[in-house]
Amino acid sequence: MASIVTARDLVKKFNGFTAVDGISFEIKEGECFGFLGPNGAGKTTTIRMIHCVSPKTSGELKVAGLDANVDNRGIKCLLGVIPQELNLDEDLTTYENLVLFAGFFGIPRREAHDRIMELLEFVELKAKMKNRITQLSTGMKRRLQIARALVNQPKLIIADEPTTGLDPQARHLIWQRLRELKKRGTTMVLTTQYMEEAEQLCDEIVIMHQGRIIRQGVPSELIKEEFVGEMIEVRDSKDRVYRRPATLEDVFLKLTGRQLIE
């Protein structure tokens, strides 16, 4: 598969502080690529460089063959972004939010309408199309952000912690939509604080710590490599010991000395 994102010796500094310290990676078309790391690891900074919100300090970063520091306008047209924060226009309805976004890309009115109706069906919000944003639950707002990210039929979706703050049921609904996008061959970049999310959705992950990539690979293979033939012992509050297979969360703790959610 061809690479849609290529980074070589990528560096980002803020007033002398190095947030991203010479990392290299490739994201292939059709895969879900995950960034894991504790707060301050540099994963969000990396994501912001990919979607041209923050320019790189040095190194090479190309998206769909375009230089991120030169062709940022062209790159933004190729991307769909699901931000961590809820930034929908509360003065508009569900449908109107998508119409407004379609207008940013110059999509003809009739085509935009047809596309929006398909997307509302996809995220199961067709019944809420006339509701204002304030009438939607947090989970519905997250699903609407997925639809908004797909309006311009992007080559790459960037999902920055798309299930933060959701209850388990709402989180699983978002996972279903993201899995469906994977089945359709959509390329996705995902940051997440939920290990189960990374294991279920990501074809490949990088684990970042202090601005560097300390491990990269397929989640299941990382678990095997770090815990060959080992079982994890867990002690409960009554001092009872249980043994279980290792998980991606155990790999993360072993490599960084920290839990992802602290």
Instruction: Please check whether residue 88 lies inside any domain of the structure.
Output: yes
Q: What is the pLDDT of residues 181-229, one digit of tens each?
A: 988 889 999 998 788 888 889 999 999 999 999 999 999 899 888 887 7
- Residue 152: which domain range? 3-256
> Which pLDDT band holds residue 241 (cuts at 50, 70, 90)?
confident
CA angle at 156 for the pair 149 and 85, rounded to the nearest 5°: 40
Q: What are the C-alpha distances in Å from 37 to residues 20, 182, 200?
A: 12, 23, 17
> Which pLDDT band holds residue 151 (cuts at 50, 70, 90)?
very high
pLDDT score of 76? 92
The answer, yes or no, to whether residue 40 has pLDDT greater than 80, is yes
Instruction: Please check whether residue 8 lies inside any domain of the structure.
Output: yes
The answer, yes or no, to whether residue 262 has pLDDT greater than 60, is no
User: Which of 215, 217, 220 lies closest to 252, judged by CA?
Assistant: 215
Instruction: Please check whether residue 180 lies inside any domain of the structure.
Output: yes
> Which pLDDT band holds residue 153 (cuts at 50, 70, 90)?
very high
* CATH at residue 178: 3.40.50.300
- Total domain count, the chain: 1
The answer, yes or no, to whether residue 1 has pLDDT greater than 80, is no
Instruction: Please check whether residue 108 lies inside any domain of the structure.
Output: yes
CA angle at 187 for the pair 183 and 189, rounded to the nearest 5°: 120
The total of other beta-carbon atoms located within 10 Å of residue 238's CB is 5
Strand partners for 26: 6
> Which pLDDT band holds residue 261 (cuts at 50, 70, 90)?
low
Instruction: Please check whether residue 126 lies inside any domain of the structure.
Output: yes
pLDDT score of 216? 95
Instruction: Please check whether residue 7 lies inside any domain of the structure.
Output: yes
Tokens representing residue 64 in the block? 């769909």
> Which pLDDT band holds residue 52 (cuts at 50, 70, 90)?
very high
The answer, yes or no, to whether residue 246 has pLDDT greater than 90, is no
Instruction: Please check whether residue 262 lies inside any domain of the structure.
Output: no
Q: What is the mean pLDDT of the chain?
A: 91
**For residues 130-146, average pLDDT:** 95
Q: Distance between alpha carbon 7 and the CA centroid of its chain, in Å? A: 17
Instruction: Please check whether residue 214 lies inside any domain of the structure.
Output: yes
